[in-house]
Every structure is written in C-alpha cells, then in structure tokens.
Amino acid sequence: MAKVLEGLAFLAVDPTVHRMCQVIGAMVSGLVVVGMLCTSDVKGRRNWLPDCKLNSCKRNWEVFSLTYGVFWITCFAIIIGGELYESFDREHYMIVCGGLATPLLLQPILLPSITGESDVPLFERYSLKANLWIFIFGFIGNYWYTHYFYNVLEAHYSMPSWDLNGVPIPMYLATHFYFCFYHVLSNLALRKAYSTFSPGAMRRLFVISLVLIMSYATAFMESLTISGFPCYGFKDRDLAYTLGSAFYGIYFIVSFPMFLRLDESPPKKWDLFTVAVEALASGMAVLMLLDIVRVYMGIDLNIRLNRPCKLNAAFTCKPFNFKTC
C-alpha cells in the first residue's frame, strides 16, 4: 500500500499528468460549446439506456455489465493497492483474469435469466452477440496491436505468464471485461447524444467530438491507473501518457461507434455471422490506422514470439527478478 500511495503522490505533482488533464478538460469544454449549438430533438427520449420495452435484452446486459464492472474494478484495486501481485505466479494471473472474465463469457449460456433471455434461442441472445463482438475485437487487439506498443512505445510486460504470440494470455482475458465495461459506457454516452439532439451537421460534429474525447480519455485513464502495476512499463512514461494515449485511443475511435450499432435499432437484429464480420472489420480498420501511424513515424515492426524476460531473466519484474517469466 505504501508503494501505491507514493505512486499517487507522484502522479499528483507529475507535470505530464497535469498537462494531460488540462488537454482533456479543454476538449470537454469544446464539446460543451458544440452541444450548446446543437438543436434539441423535441421528440427525443434522451435515453442513456435502451428502451425497456423495445430492447430490454440489450438494456439488461448493459446494466449487468456496469454492475459487474464495479466488482472487477474493486478486485483490481485490492490486488494493486494491497500489492498482492507480488506473490502471483503464472497460475495466479490465469486464475484472477480468467476468473473475472468467466462470468461475462458464460452468462449468456448458463444464466440467461440475468439479461431476461431465458426464452430467447441461444444464438439470438444479445448477451452472446455482445460477448462475441468484444471477444473477437479484444483478441485481435492483444494478438496484433500489442506488438505496435512493443515497437512504437517500447512497452513491455514482465510478469511470469504463459504467452500467445508474445503476449501474456491473462491479458487476453483481462481485456474482455475491461472492454465490456468501456463499450457499455460509450453506448450510454452515444445513445444519449443521438436521442437528445436533432439530426444534422452539428449533431454529427458533436458525436464525432464525443467519440474522440471518450477514446483519448479512456486510453489515458487506463495508462494512468495501470501505472501502479510494476510489471507493465514503458521506456518513456511521459511519452506513453501523451502519444501512447492517442495511439491506444485509435482502438476506440473505431470500436465505440461500431459496437453501438449491434442490435441498437429493433426489430432489426444481427445474426452471429454478421456480428463476427463486424468485429473483424473493426479490428482490421484499427490495424490499418495503427500501421499508418507506425509508417509515418518511420518505425519498423518486429514481431517476436518471446518477450525479453523469456530470454533474459534480468528483465523480469519484482519480486521475480532473475527468473525467466
């Protein structure tokens, strides 16, 4: 706990963090101005959540994901704050991340009543489709995008873990519950915007601005909160907060508006094939954008099957120093 408090104290006086907060604050102020210029939709419902009658299954899943988000965030706060990770080995990371991802992944199959889908055929359940979309997109992100962070930002994972394509397998699992939470929050905000303002150029500008701000802020907040975990780091943390947040935000610039479309306009519903194609298309769009940035920066892309700590024990984080990860 002492280390965490020291880290928080450092962040409180870190000029880069202050600068980032000022940038995001300025962006939010600009968004408010654009919102004031939009025309209110007199007939708009101004909904955060889907309609409880027309789209109850999606509404129930979003409420469930938000509620579950409080649980896993609390678990992570205890693990980081109590420095429990210092006693973790490969099995512990798999148990924690796999254990936290499992309720979301299995809920559509084992507990459909939570989302009111007991009478809905399995392959037509919104909860299953949402999980499939997030899982595919998150898998692509870990399998491919992580290597862009390795190359562009010189990021590294150094905890003991089994890997897939040079990325710790627990990260694939953790991404699922992280992204479920993020994308429900973005759904709420975008739905509120669409149901509050009348269609037109100003609403379009507001929504685009909202997506950009949410993407950048989400990426920055994750970078900031994970800074208390010593087994994930960057060569230049200031660069990670600034450029890294913009780089990571590219994920969400694409995924936030794309995920909202999933079964958003009843009675039109997507089948699982369409869900998979949409997620794969979103993943490819992000990959192209990341690669364009990499090429613009003149950085070669080197994909390694082994993390540095797999080959050199000196790179493994505390307290596993001098043991290959």
pLDDT tens, residue by residue, 238-282: 888 888 899 999 999 999 999 999 999 988 899 999 999 999 999
For tokens 């928080």, the residue is 8
Average pLDDT, the chain: 92
Residue 137 domain-assigned? yes
As a whole number of angstroms, the distance between CA 269 and CA 58 comes to 11
Structural domain containing residue 267: 2-315
| Whole-structure pTM value | 0.94
Residue 322 domain-assigned? no
The count of domains in the chain is: 1
Amino acid letter, residue 274? T
pLDDT confidence of residue 43: 76
8 Å CB contact between 94 and 13: no
User: And the tokens for 165?
Assistant: 């394509």
| Averaged pLDDT for residues 43-70 | 93
Q: Which of 175, 94, 153 is nearest to 290 (CA)?
A: 153
User: In the structure, what pLDDT confidence band is assigned to residue 3 with cuts at 50, 70 and 90?
Assistant: low
Position 11 pLDDT exceeds 90 = no
Residue 325 domain-assigned? no
User: In the structure, what pLDDT confidence band is assigned to residue 6 with cuts at 50, 70 and 90?
Assistant: low
Residue 311 domain-assigned? yes
Q: Residue 36: which residues within 8 A CB-CB, separation 6 or more?
A: none
Report pLDDT digits (tens) over 111-161: 999 999 999 999 999 999 999 999 999 999 999 999 999 999 889 999 999
Residue 275 domain-assigned? yes
Position 10 pLDDT exceeds 70 = no
Residue 222 domain-assigned? yes
